[in-house]
């Protein structure tokens, strides 16, 4: 069978079909929630991606905007016979028209029965935040340090910011009052273990108890040392959730399941980036992405026969999760909690608060 075009330079091929049949078909439940996915229309890009930016950070090289129609088609391809609902967000970059990206996302999610997290400008007033939360399909916000201010030369001008610089208290007050969802991509080169991050996450949890707070990508703990330093620190807060999107490391997933538990972890893909083919390797506190496309970051290629066996990163992430669940002897209900039920439960709480508010008006 011919490869099916997926997105950007990636196809869905025989290796993926065989991988699905061997590892995923019998394991994934019929309904799944992807709690971390990005949708962006190319027309909303205000500035082109520069060569300098491409060389700077691997994600810049692999993340072309994926519109909603493409997103839906890709999901049907990679999850054959499954019902997948999404919690989507726009492109977290001021190289895009953020207002237009949010408008587009809301309309496309509403049409598909998906939900969305609007990109939050820290400059928005409390009223502006409240107005955004009242709109159809919106369940909360996605703050991001790159939305503090634009620097066309780098994504990381504000990486060392305090969380409260891009998720300010006046926005948190409204989010708390509305019982809204916040997926938080933590700042700092040192990731979640940075003491400021741990302290500020605890502060949000203690001052704004009604927010559904989901720490994205396990706090960007993609390596075992980062996860060991951060996850136990936040393990005792039973109301704090994490999404496991972009985490391919079996040891990290196992630690998260042991330490945070399957009742507080949410499956997510972070697509479209993880339609990339290849595999990830870890060396201490660093990781290397191996892929079969001649990107700048992919200078040190693996032999052709190894590359020919690559499948999608998102499939590797699912295999890693499956392995971690098996190692720990998780029950089926616990596996399904991560892949669907936790997200559904949290969605239910946000939607019923939103519904209650509408009937009060």
- Token pair, residue 230, equals 């951060």
For the bound state, the minimum distance from the C-beta of residue 31 to Zn ion, rounded and expressed in Å, comes to 22
CA distance 272 to 15: 19
CA distance 206 to 240: 11
**Dihedral of the CA atoms 155, 161, 163, 165 (nearest 10)?**
-100
Helix then strand then coil, % of the chain, to nearest 5:
45, 15, 35
Buried b (16+ CB within 10 A) or exposed e, 193-217: bbeebbebbeebeeebeebbbbbbb
Of 16 and 270, which has the nearer Cβ to Zn ion? Answer: 270
Of 132 and 270, which has the nearer Cβ to Zn ion? Answer: 270
For the bound state, the minimum distance from the C-beta of residue 270 to Zn ion, rounded and expressed in Å, comes to 5
For the bound state, the minimum distance from the C-beta of residue 26 to Zn ion, rounded and expressed in Å, comes to 29
Residues between 268 and 287 with contacts to Zn ion, criterion CB under 5 A: 270
Of 233 and 270, which has the nearer Cβ to Zn ion? Answer: 270
Phi, psi for residue 49 in degrees, rounded to 5: -65, 130
For the bound state, the minimum distance from the C-beta of residue 38 to Zn ion, rounded and expressed in Å, comes to 6
For the bound state, the minimum distance from the C-beta of residue 180 to Zn ion, rounded and expressed in Å, comes to 18
CA distance 50 to 154: 10
Of 13 and 118, which has the nearer Cβ to Zn ion? Answer: 118
Segment lying near Zn ion (by CB under 5 A), choices 125-133, 264-272, 294-302, 331-339: 264-272
- Token pair, residue 298, equals 């992919």
The C-alpha R_g of the chain, in whole angstroms, comes to 19
Residue nearest Zn ion by beta-carbon distance: 270
Residues between 91 and 130 with contacts to Zn ion, criterion CB under 5 A: none
For the bound state, the minimum distance from the C-beta of residue 148 to Zn ion, rounded and expressed in Å, comes to 17
8 Å CB contact between 303 and 226: no
Segment lying near Zn ion (by CB under 5 A), choices 80-88, 162-170, 265-273, 277-285: 265-273
8 Å CB contact between 68 and 86: no
CA distance 96 to 104: 12
For the bound state, the minimum distance from the C-beta of residue 32 to Zn ion, rounded and expressed in Å, comes to 17
Of 270 and 341, which has the nearer Cβ to Zn ion? Answer: 270
DSSP code for 2: P
DSSP code for 246: T
- Token pair, residue 347, equals 């969605």
Of 84 and 353, which has the nearer Cβ to Zn ion? Answer: 84
Of 216 and 234, which has the nearer Cβ to Zn ion? Answer: 216
Segment lying near Zn ion (by CB under 5 A), choices 45-53, 77-85, 191-199, 262-270: 262-270
DSSP code for 301: P
For the bound state, the minimum distance from the C-beta of residue 322 to Zn ion, rounded and expressed in Å, comes to 22
Segment lying near Zn ion (by CB under 5 A), choices 58-66, 123-131, 173-181, 266-274: 266-274
Number of residues that bind Zn ion (CB under 5 A): 1
Of 246 and 320, which has the nearer Cβ to Zn ion? Answer: 246
Of 184 and 347, which has the nearer Cβ to Zn ion? Answer: 184
Say if residue 327 is exposed, middle or buried (CB neighbours under 10 Å; 0-12, 13-18, 19+).
middle
- Token pair, residue 272, equals 């479209």
For the bound state, the minimum distance from the C-beta of residue 348 to Zn ion, rounded and expressed in Å, comes to 23
Q: Which residues bind Zn ion (CB under 5 A)?
A: 270
């Amino acid at each position: 069978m011919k490869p099916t075009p997926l997105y950007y330079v990636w196809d869905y091929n025989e290796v993926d079909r065989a991988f699905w049949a061997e590892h995923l078909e019998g394991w994934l439940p019929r309904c799944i929630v992807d709690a971390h996915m990005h949708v962006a229309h190319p027309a909303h890009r205000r500035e082109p991606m520069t060569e300098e930016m491409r060389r700077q950070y691997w994600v810049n090289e692999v993340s072309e905007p994926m519109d909603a129609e493409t997103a839906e088609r890709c999901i049907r391809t990679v999850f054959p016979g499954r019902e997948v609902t999404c919690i989507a967000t726009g492109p977290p970059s001021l190289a895009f028209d953020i207002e237009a990206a949010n408008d587009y996302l809301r309309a496309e999610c509403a049409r598909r029965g998906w939900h969305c997290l609007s990109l939050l400008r820290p400059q928005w007033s409390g009223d502006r935040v409240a107005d955004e939360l009242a709109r159809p399909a919106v369940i909360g916000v996605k703050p991001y340090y790159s939305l503090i201010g634009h620097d066309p030369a780098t994504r990381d001008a504000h990486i060392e910011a305090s969380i409260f610089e891009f998720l300010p208290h006046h926005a948190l007050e409204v989010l708390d009052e509305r019982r809204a969802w916040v997926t938080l991509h933590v700042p700092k080169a040192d990731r979640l273990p940075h003491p400021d991050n741990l302290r500020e996450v605890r502060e949000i949890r203690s001052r704004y108890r009604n927010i559904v707070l989901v720490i994205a990508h396990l706090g960007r703990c993609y390596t075992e040392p980062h996860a060991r330093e951060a996850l136990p620190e936040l393990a005792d807060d039973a109301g704090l959730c994490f999404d496991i999107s972009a985490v391919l490391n079996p040891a990290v997933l196992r630690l998260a399941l042991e330490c945070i538990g399957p009742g507080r972890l949410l499956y997510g893909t972070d697509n479209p980036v993880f339609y990339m083919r290849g595999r990830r390797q870890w060396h201490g506190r660093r990781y290397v992405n191996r892929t079969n496309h001649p990107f700048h970051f992919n200078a040190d290629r693996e032999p052709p026969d190894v590359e020919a066996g690559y499948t999608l990163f998102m499939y590797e992430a699912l295999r890693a999760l499956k392995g971690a669940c098996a190692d720990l002897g998780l029950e089926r209900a616990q596996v399904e909690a991560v892949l669907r039920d936790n997200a559904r439960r949290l969605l239910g709480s946000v939607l019923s608060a939103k519904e209650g508010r509408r009937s009060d008006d």
